[in-house]
A and B are shown apart, each in its own frame.
Chain A
């Protein structure tokens, strides 16, 4: 740990602040992962660690090695950019997979599943690649008589 003495005082304070804040926010995310009630709420909690935790710790690491080696060290940015690019993809895929599982299989769990779009509000045409939200494509391009039957039964029960 000899290298820590070589840092100027202001840099040590800044690095300490960044690292402590980043680690604390990551713990908050982990706490949310444990405490929140529904999967769709829990999906939001660890993003604290993904975004703020990664950002602050990567910044601290960059600052520290830049000062230690007295040249510009930016290779930590690869981690930052990679995490920034991949986290939305993974969490979106996971959320959609969970939504599909929850809606397809009525498992009898007490999860609060986000509601389907009502039949009359759905778009008449399949949504294109640029469309937003969920359209006919979500329900599969081919009509699924079994699913239609199940939905009708659900609506009748409600």
Chain B
């Protein structure tokens, strides 16, 4: 019974996170300006990381954690580079 509850909760969490991903994707496509797109991309990275964690919990597989960690690191680097580019017009000065 409680396993059913947990299964339902994990399914709900996956659907909710995919919905959040779609909302962020809408903002990224819509714009209206570059900083909105960068912010939406950063949000998508973090939501994808959460989605990996939830999928890993659903599968009982610890190795999704590593994928989530890689996504988190990549998201940080990508957003910092994009912000620097927006600020200065070049990434490496």
Contact = CB atoms under 8 A, between A and B. Distances in A.
Contact of B72 (A24, A29, A82): A82
A94 B46 contact: no
A90 B65 contact: no
A15 B56 contact: no
A64 B62 CA distance: 11
Contact of A19 (B21, B39, B54, B87): B54
Nearest to A20: B9
Contacts of A135: none
A133 to B, nearest CB: 18
Interface in A1-23: 1-5, 7, 9, 12-13, 15-17, 19-20, 22-23
A65 to B, nearest CB: 6
A58 B76 CA distance: 18
Nearest to A28: B20
Contacts, number: 177
B79 A49 contact: no
B27 A33 contact: yes
Nearest to B17: A23
A94 B27 CA distance: 16
A126 interface: no
A76 B16 contact: no
A96 to B, nearest CB: 7
Candidate in B24, B38, B73 with the most chain A CB atoms within 10 angstroms = B24
A83 B46 contact: yes
Interface string A113-156: 00000000000000000000000000000000000000000000
Interface in A68-125: 68, 73, 75-76, 78-79, 82-83, 86-87, 89-91, 93-94, 96-98, 100-101, 109
A143 B83 CA distance: 24
Given A50-B46, A75-B65, A93-B80, A39 B12 contact: no
Interface string B29-68: 0001111101110110011011001101111101001001
B91 interface: no
A2 B60 CA distance: 9
A31 B23 contact: yes
B76 A86 contact: yes
